[in-house]
Amino acid sequence: MLPASIQITGELLSAAEVQDICESLKEDSVRLLSVRGCQLSDRDFGRICRSVAESRSLAQLNLNLGIVSSISRTRHLADALKTNRSLQTLFLHGSPLLDAGLVTLNSALSTHPALVCLDLGDCMLGDEALGLICGMLPPDGAKSGLRELTLSANPGISSKGWARLSIAVAHSSQLRVLNLDYNPLGDQIAGMLAVAVASSRTLEVLDLEGTGLTNQSAQVFLDMVENYPTSLRVLVLAENDISPELQQQICDLLSEGEDDDDREPPPLQPGPASSSALLPIRDKYQPIRDKYQPIRDKYQPPAWLPHSNSSPQMVLLTSGLGESLLDETEM
């Protein structure tokens, strides 16, 4: 029997539903578990975490929108991640983790053998947490690390913290997608990120929507893509004080880069789920309307929004590696 997906949004989970979820996880019958915005007791959250620890099939876990709401729940999740070996994508967007929560999770996250995609958007993080996250972006040849990182809407991070992230991105041997939208970055931080992008051999998608940029930042990025080789394919500059003309120029140049047959693709480091079909998408948090359904004999793929390579000026605001990763890891 092929693993299925369980997707529930904004519901009050009964004890019976939690029991069904736990049994399915323990039976290795679930590849994707999403309980975004659901309500459940601390006891039931602990039960799910213990089942996640035992699961050998779970590849994606979505705990967005306040599920990990206390330090005790953070500890439950950390304990689960220390034992689990299958998880590749973890969504914690909208969880009030604070720096203390990242300190609790850090060891489990940084040593997990399969984790390649992490969403920590709107988690009330600061510089201490960002320093730990930089450790998940190891330099060339050190070890495998994250391929997709979302840090949207964490205004507590200072310019010093963003500068540190820029250095880590410049030397990361794995990172392909970086989502920093709705952080108050400004032109100075954007300039640092431009240098990081120019140095990176792997970064393909950078989302800077709503980050307080002006034409000054756009001109720097334009100069970069016009005059220097880069792996970048998608740059999101919407909701900034940037002229449409500059945005279009950058878009056109990135489109030309996609057609450059002479460009060498960045080498992939060996590791779990090293896929050339990585999709640079992340969840827009559109309500998923399907209630929990009993596990079926046939795998039900997650409802990912399609990403169109023909529109490089756009990035779907989603997070995760998408169906391709799940399909590729099917045993």
Instruction: Give CA–CA dist 82/89, Å, rounded.
Output: 15
Q: Are 86 and 61 in contact (CB under 8 A)?
A: no
Residue 147 C-beta-side C-alpha neighbours within 13 Å = 26
Is residue 138 very low, low, confident or very high in pLDDT (cuts 50, 70, 90)?
confident
Q: Which residue has the higher pLDDT, 297 or 190?
A: 190
Helices (H), 179-303: 186-199, 215-227, 244-258
Instruction: Give CA–CA dist 112/106, Å, rounded.
Output: 10
131, with CB counted inside 10 A (0-12, 13-18, 19+), is middle
pLDDT at 173: 80
CATH topology of domain 1-124: 3.80.10
Amino acid at site 195? V
1-124 and 137-259 agree in CATH topology? yes
Q: What are 200's two structure tokens? A: 């990176």
Question: Is the predicted pLDDT of residue 171 greater than 60, yes or no?
Answer: yes
Q: Output Rg (C-alpha) for the chain, integer angstroms.
A: 19
pLDDT at 252: 93
Q: Are 169 and 198 in contact (CB under 8 A)?
A: no
Domain 137-259 has CATH 3.40.50.300: no
Tens of pLDDT, residue by residue over 272-331, are: 433 332 233 354 433 332 333 333 332 333 333 323 333 333 333 333 343 334 443 333
Tens of pLDDT, residue by residue over 60-83, are: 999 999 999 999 999 999 999 999
User: Model-level pTM greater than 0.85?
Assistant: no
Cα distances from 30 to residues 18, 51, 97, 289, in angstroms, run 14, 11, 26, 19
Instruction: Give CA–CA dist 184/313, Å, rounded.
Output: 21
Tens of pLDDT, residue by residue over 233-287, are: 999 999 999 999 999 999 999 988 665 544 454 444 444 433 332 233 354 433 3
**What share of the chain has pLDDT > 70, as a percent?**
75
pLDDT at 2: 62
Which of 32-41, 220-229, 268-277 is predicted with the least confidence, judged by mean pLDDT? 268-277
Tens of pLDDT, residue by residue over 10-24, are: 999 999 999 999 999
Question: Is the predicted pLDDT of residue 28 greater than 80, yes or no?
Answer: yes
Domain ranges of the chain: 1-124, 137-259
Cα distances from 138 to residues 11, 183, 243, 248, 285, in angstroms, run 38, 23, 36, 33, 29
pLDDT at 324: 37
Q: Please list the residues that pair with 205 across neighbouring strands.
A: 177, 234
For tokens 């034992």, name the residue.
Answer: 83
pLDDT at 311: 37
**What share of the chain has pLDDT > 90, as a percent?**
71
Residues 6 or more apart in contact with residue 178 via CB below 8 angstroms: 148, 149, 151, 169, 203, 205, 206, 207
Residues 6 or more apart in contact with residue 246 via CB below 8 angstroms: 215, 218, 219, 222
Phi, psi of 164 (to 5 degrees): -65, -40
pLDDT at 312: 37
pLDDT at 142: 58
Q: What are 51's two structure tokens? A: 């089942």
